[in-house]
Chains A and B, each alone.
Chain A
């Protein structure tokens, strides 16, 4: 009976009901009682049961409200050129969103399998209307009525009061799911409105505050949606005006997060680095500069700063991202564990280079020959294993009252992990090595055991490198993250300062530090701002 329900008669009935509602809203003495009476009438007609009729009812209402709000006017410019200009009338949209708010506050579906709030149902109807509208209208799709609709709902249905925590979370999660479906890759013509919605104060701040951080994975998923959409345009660095505006908006959202929710960026830094192209140095720096608010970072330029003596340096950072997900996806986790346990006679390292490459068709899409998430996963997973091993060794050592070595991290206790890093830096080609060193540098953040370990590893790789082009590439990865505007991650600064100040690395005698006058000048100015002179 789809034909019956969609019949002209039903359409007319809904149109009539809507204009009746608009009159109630427009009345100067509109009262809660009048609103409730109207909703009871809808219930009585059987339109709020949560079944197919409910869906059709709200679909037609959405279409009516949007159609009435877009008032197109033909402007005839001189020279016979006519331009479509659209003006939004808010009243139909505001009336419709009010109806939904009143319905949701007044009734829940109680019959059958649809038990619960009508909100998810109405949101899924809205999503389908948007998808259809965007698909049909393509470049002439107008996202503004939908944008206002969502803003009104967020204003009315989500609250910042903490004692409504539970119910509020249900509402925010429903919106987060809807925004995920409407992500820019799926509805690109709604990108700007989408970015403003997900970062709106009635959504982002509320999703990330309270609810014992249950909202964090939802917001992480939305940020990943955003980065994935931006990736192909940022990678090629061909910033057309619209892309540039999206980029600027993204940076502003990240800066708000860095200021208000740094722990959120800390917890998920790994998954963000998987999807941000390596050319977006500043964007990545903003994420990697986040540190827990209760922490005080020592000034990296303090003379004779000994990072080994900081209490935080033995604590692991909290990581909420799926570190070994990419390894499992490629069925490599067992091999890695096996190799770390019994490295002798293992062919793991020999086969690894091949496994890190993408198949040709995927490489074309990704814009790199390498599987970057797999590289990131491998580097961090092995690092974490090494840190755990080191701490276990240290605990044993102090238990048996042997020497306690504060000043050096004896990485030869964990030879296998060290050998893994040394092997890859030597045997990968330039592109692979660049991505590999980036994966290491992504862990140089606030004082914690990972920062400490990877800082040590990258300096070790520099010191032990047999060829100067490896040292040059290590320097490039560190330097390019420092010559951009602030913020700079603490661990990155610490590592670079150690590299240029400690005579052990013989930094200033390397050919690449004075291959060209402007490079030489650059090194000197960075060295000066880092507090370490060219020795």
Chain B
């Protein structure tokens, strides 16, 4: 017999374990955003996250619509370490946005760069300013002229 205990002891311990069941969130990665005041919504509202948000086809649809670019940025910055963040990043890359690892910011060429070397390129870029100031400024696309994008800050691989 493998067991070191008798069945009665095992049953008591199983009962104890029943009151400390692993919770779904125990096996999820820590979320940076936790709602501070969760509230009960009417049952007629969806009560769970729609499964479609983990469907790559859904993100492709968002990616093909330029009006939805803000949504991709939202997913990227506010759903960290999630599959959605990965899918959003993938779509942004498809739209020729490039992630700068030093500034944690997405850049897109505004015009063809004036200078291109093996190490960097320089020119005029559109970038997404993800900082939100108290006065409501930010969270918008801005233009940066004469910016040097060093390639060693370029995020190349998307890892899952």
Residues of chain A whose beta carbon lies under 8 Å from any beta carbon of chain B: 86, 88, 90-91, 94, 134, 138-144, 147-148, 151, 155, 183-193, 196, 200, 225, 228-229, 232-233, 240-243, 245-246, 365
Question: What is the minimal beta-carbon distance from A266 to any residue of chain B, in angstroms?
Answer: 25
User: Are A185 and B16 closer than 8 Å at their CB atoms?
Assistant: no
Q: Does B48 have its Cβ within 8 Å of any Cβ on chain A?
A: no
- The 9 A-B residue pairs whose C-beta atoms are closest, nearest first, are A188-B13, A242-B18, A139-B16, A185-B3, A189-B13, A188-B10, A151-B27, A193-B22, A242-B14
User: Are B30 and A200 closer than 8 Å at their CB atoms?
Assistant: no
Q: Does B5 have its Cβ within 8 Å of any Cβ on chain A?
A: yes
User: Are A192 and B21 closer than 8 Å at their CB atoms?
Assistant: yes
Q: Is the interface of B mostly helix, strand, loop or mixed?
A: helix
Q: Does B39 have its Cβ within 8 Å of any Cβ on chain A?
A: no
With a CB–CB cut-off of 8 A, which chain A residues contact B46? none
With a CB–CB cut-off of 8 A, which chain A residues contact B11? 188, 233, 240, 242-243
Question: What is the minimal beta-carbon distance from A22 to any residue of chain B, in angstroms?
Answer: 13
Question: What is the minimal beta-carbon distance from A171 to any residue of chain B, in angstroms?
Answer: 17
User: Are B2 and A192 closer than 8 Å at their CB atoms?
Assistant: no
Q: Name the residue of chain A whose CB is nearest to the CB of B18.
A: A242
With contacts A229-B10, A233-B11, A240-B11 known, is A192 near B27, CB below 8 A?
no
In the bound assembly, the distance between CA atoms of A189 and B22 in angstroms comes to 12
Point out the residue from A138, A143, A228, A232 that lies within 8 Å of B2, measured CB to CB: A228
User: Are A138 and B16 closer than 8 Å at their CB atoms?
Assistant: yes
Q: Name the residue of chain A whose CB is nearest to the CB of B4.
A: A186
Chain B interface residue number, banded: 20 to 34
With a CB–CB cut-off of 8 A, which chain B residues contact A141? 13, 16, 20
Point out the residue from A147, A188, A191 that lies within 8 Å of B26, measured CB to CB: A147
Point out the residue from B4, B15, B16, B20 that lies within 8 Å of A144, measured CB to CB: B20
15 A-B contact pairs sorted by A residue (CB < 8 Å): A90-B30, A140-B16, A141-B13, A147-B22, A184-B14, A188-B9, A188-B10, A192-B18, A192-B21, A196-B22, A240-B11, A242-B15, A243-B11, A243-B14, A246-B14
Q: Name the residue of chain A whose CB is nearest to the CB of B21.
A: A192
With a CB–CB cut-off of 8 A, which chain A residues contact B133? none
In the bound assembly, the distance between CA atoms of A90 and B22 in angstroms comes to 13
In the bound assembly, the distance between CA atoms of A138 and B15 in angstroms comes to 11
In the bound assembly, the distance between CA atoms of A365 and B17 in angstroms comes to 24
With a CB–CB cut-off of 8 A, which chain A residues contact B15? 139, 240, 242
Q: Name the residue of chain B whose CB is nearest to the CB of A155.
A: B29
Contacts beyond the supplied A144-B23, A147-B22: 14 A-B pairs with Cβ under 8 Å? A91-B30, A94-B30, A134-B13, A139-B13, A139-B15, A189-B14, A190-B17, A191-B14, A191-B17, A192-B18, A200-B27, A228-B3, A233-B7, A246-B14
